[in-house]
Amino acid sequence: ADAVVLGAKVTGYSQSLDGVSAQITHADGRVEDVAGTLLIGADGIHSKVRAQMHPQQPPIHWGGAIMWRGTVRAKPLRTGSSFVGLGTHRHRIVFYPISAPDADGLAEINWIAEVTVDPSHGWQQDGWFRPVEIADFAHHFADFRYDWLDVPAMLQGADCAYENPMIDRDPLETWVSGRVALMGDAAHPMYPTGSNGASQAIVDGRVLGAMMLEHGVTQDALAAYDAKLCAPISAVQLRNRGAGPFGLLNLLDARCGGVFDDIDAVIPPEERAEFMAGYKAAAGFAMEALNAAPPTIAPGARLG
């Protein structure tokens, strides 16, 4: 019953030879220290644990991309579960179904619209995530009309829209300091270009658990976790600052301006497959490798 504490946040920590103590600040202003063997900072992009571990870290990085997100009831396209991306990495819309179709063939469609602007003046809005009206941004996508899709009409049918900048932080040389480790967005906040932000946090948790099974609840487990993931996932962070998998759209735009009759004549299937395989491999999403790999944690495994 005491595993989850609401209305509280970690605001700092201290270490000793025998353990680590997390400073917990409660909503009523009360501050307490909670002792443990290890501390895992999973406190997001504004992580206080990361800030203490790396006090010289640069501020949050924004490259000028603004995203608007929402959902709409619509008929799924193509296969019925297809992920559709239109435009380039500087001006695009992405959407995909997140529910099964109902009796009328309509599903809940998640959509993300994005444009890139001059970031030299920094983010000018209050907060990092706010509700907005569709009319505030729909004009950017007025020309996204096709015989098989009307994007402006789809946006007008949305039940809500939220605006947020696409932000991340510079990669770290390590996610670990003694008995303290970072995971998820606290360790590697990245552009959601490959939709792998939340899934990477799950991978972090599984790998960290596997290292504890091998090394116990020890600093050695944290060091092994850091050695396995920090460098390759830092590379994914930087890769996502580019176009990520949407680089394929940029390639298409460069070759034909996005207008074509036969995609195979513009980018052959083999080239498309090779491009996507490179990103999937870097992000750890290569399907064949994942399916052939043993479980990260064996079923039923428990720490002694």
Per-residue model confidence (pLDDT) at position 126: 65
State the pTM of this model.
0.81
Per-residue model confidence (pLDDT) at position 242: 73
> Could you say which of 3.30.470.20, 3.30.70.1110, 1.10.260.40, 3.30.9.30 is the CATH number of the domain covering 61-168?
3.30.9.30
Per-residue model confidence (pLDDT) at position 243: 65
Per-residue model confidence (pLDDT) at position 290: 77
93 burial level (CB within 10 Å; 0-12, 13-18, 19+): buried
* Average confidence (pLDDT) per 10 residues, the chain, 304 residues: 90 95 96 96 96 95 92 93 88 94 95 92 76 95 94 94 92 98 96 78 95 97 98 88 78 89 94 84 72 91 89
Per-residue model confidence (pLDDT) at position 287: 74
